[in-house]
Structure formats: C-alpha cells, structure tokens
Amino acid sequence: MAAGLTVVVDYGLCNIDSMVRALEECGATNVERTRDPRILERADRIVLPGVGNFAAGMRNLQSMGLCSAIRERAENNVPFLGACLGMQLMAQTGTEGGNGAAVEGLGLVSGDVVRLERQVEHERIPHIGWNEVAQTKECLLFRDIAQSADFYFVHSYRIRLRDSEEEAGQTLYCGAFSSAIALLNRPVFGTQFHPEKSQKNGFRLLRNFLAV
C-alpha cells in the first residue's frame, strides 16, 4: 500500500474520477482531488491527468493559482506524474488553442508541444487506441513492464523534447514521438498515454509511481 497523500490536480478539464479510482485500486491509501494550491503544499506525490487543450489547461491552472504550487513541489523532489494533456502541460510551450501563438506551459521539462504530423496515409489524427511504447532508457515507471508493451492513447499533439535524455519511452506513430519522460535529477515523470485506461500495464506503471 502507498502511504502518504496522493493529490490529483483537478483543473476543470479532465476525467478525474478514473484516475482517482485507478490510484486507489493500485494501493494509494489517501487520494485527494483538489483545485486548492494549499493542498499541494502537503502532498507526498502529485498526479496531473488531462483531457482537453493546452491553452485552456494552462488558463485554468493559472486562474486557480496552481502553476507556482506545482512548480515548487516538483522542483523540490515531490514525485510528480503528468498523464496525456498533463504531460504536455509540463513543457515550456504549446501551440494547441493558442490561435497560432505559443502558450507558456509549466516548464518542468525542456520542450514544446506541437501537432502530430501524418507520415503515411493510413495514420489517423487524433491518435486513438492501443500502441506500443519502446522503453528508451531505464526508468522506475517501467519496472516489471515488458519492452514494447501496449498502452492506450488519445491525443493529437506531442511533446518535442529539447533534451533526448529526458525521454523514457517512444512510440512509432506519425514518425515517432516521445510517449514517456523522466527527468534525470528528480522524480518527475510523464506519459502521453493514459495509464488509468491501460489495464494491466497501466496499473503496473501507477504502482511503480506510487512506490517512488
């Protein structure tokens, strides 16, 4: 069982309930969903899930006063996991919903969020469904998960990392994109896929995060 307070950030765009239930099923004994930055100050780990667009997500996080609280906790070695849009919001900038202009992100990782580009005719955007994640470096998130295991995706944008060493997983779709990230110097992670919807592999990943 994972002790301590696991906080799921509710910024008004995402399917919070499925992530909360998944974390509880994976052994988190104290899960709280919140829009209150004061709750983040006492979190033992933080999860930022996401469904929606980048600009709206950042606008909501800013209006709720959550941006500085997330940055402060992540920079002070509180385990952090961003999932789908939550991972994209970790970037420095994103173009989705910005009417052609770059929108400032949380800046937890070095990179920008850009639209997927079809490389062959049969590739569909948005990218929806199961796809393999090739592990590109050793990462705690993937402990006891097979190389090239399947996870569930729903997205039209991807993160373009400036530092390839921050990539932990890659998926061969629309060329190739970073589907998991892990910082080198602190326990900050991201997944472009939805671990809470990825059945056995996703739940194994969440258990690994709860054990950090």
184-203: per-residue pLDDT in tens? 999 999 999 999 999 999 99
- The pair of structure tokens assigned to 168 is 């932990």
4-45: per-residue pLDDT in tens? 999 999 999 877 899 999 999 999 999 999 999 999 999 999
DSSP 119-163: SSTT--SSEEEEEEEEE-S--GGGTT--TTEEEEEEESEEEEES-
Longest dimension (CA), the chain: 49
> Is this prediction's pTM over 0.85?
yes
Q: Which one of 84, 127, 155, 167 is the catalytic residue?
A: 84
Average pLDDT over residues 147-162: 98
Q: DSSP label at 98?
A: T
For residue 155, indicate whether it is catalytic: no
For residue 84, indicate whether it is catalytic: yes
Spell out the domains of the chain, with CATH numbers in brackets: 6-210 (3.40.50.880)
For residue 174, indicate whether it is catalytic: no
